[in-house]
Amino acid sequence: MWLKDSSIGRKFIMSITGLFLVLFLLFHGSMNICLVVDDLFGTQGYNWICEMLGANWYAIAGTLVLALGVLVHFLYAFYLTFQNRRARGNSRYAVETCPEGVEWQSKNMLVLGIIVILGLCLHLYNMWFKMQFAELTGIATSVFNPQDGSAIVKYLFTNGWCGIIYCLAYIVWLCALWFHLSHGVWSALQTLGWSNLIWLKRIKVIGTIFATLAVGLFMIVVLYFLGVNIGMLAA
Partner 1 sequence: MDSYINIKVRVWRQAGPKVAGHFETYELNHIFQGASFLEMIDILNEQLIAEHKDPIAFDHDCREGICGMCSMYVNGHPHGPDSAITTCQLHMRHFHDGETITVEPWRSRAFPVIKDLMVDRQAYDRIMQAGGFVSVNTGGVPDANAIAIPKPVADEAMDAASCIGCGACAAACKNGSAMLFVSAKVSQLALLPQGKIEAAKRAKAMVAKMDELGFGNCTNTGACAAECPKSVSLANIARLNREYLCAKFKD
The reply to whether 99 sits near partner 1 by the rule CB under 8 A is: yes
Using CB under 8 A as the binding rule, whether residue 1 contacts partner 1 is answered as: no
Binding of partner 1 at residue 80 (CB under 8 A)?
A: yes
CA 178 to chain centre: 9
Between 187 and 206, how does the x/- string for binding to partner 1 read (CB under 8 A)?
x--xxxxxxxx-xx------
Q: Give, as ranges, the residues between 154 and 183 that touch partner 1 (CB under 8 A).
A: 183
Give the CA angle between residues 62, 28, 56 to the nearest 5°.
Answer: 35
For residue 109, state whether it binds partner 1 (rule: CB under 8 A).
yes
Concatenating the DSSP letter of every residue in 52-114 gives: HHTT-HHHHHHHHHHHHHHHHHHHHHHHHHHHHHHHH-S---SS----TT--TGGG-HHHHHH
Which of 58, 97, 121, 161 contacts partner 1 by CB under 8 A?
Answer: 97
Contact pick of 71, 107, 122, 227 for partner 1 (by CB under 8 A) = 107
The span from the CA of 215 to the CA of 177, in Å, is 7
Cβ partners under 8 Å of residue 108, min gap 6: 179
Determine, following the binding rule CB under 8 A, whether residue 232 of this chain makes contact with partner 1: no
* Amino acid, single-letter form, for residue 19: L
Q: Which of 40, 42, 58, 101: binder of partner 1 (CB under 8 A)?
A: 101
User: Which segment (21-29, 47-55, 66-74, 78-86) binds partner 1 by CB under 8 A?
Assistant: 78-86
The reply on whether position 4 binds partner 1 by CB under 8 A is: no
Phi and psi at residue 193, to the nearest 5°: 90, 5
Name the residues that contact partner 1, by CB under 8 A: 2, 5-12, 80, 83-84, 86-89, 91-97, 99-103, 106-107, 109, 183, 186-187, 190-197, 199-200
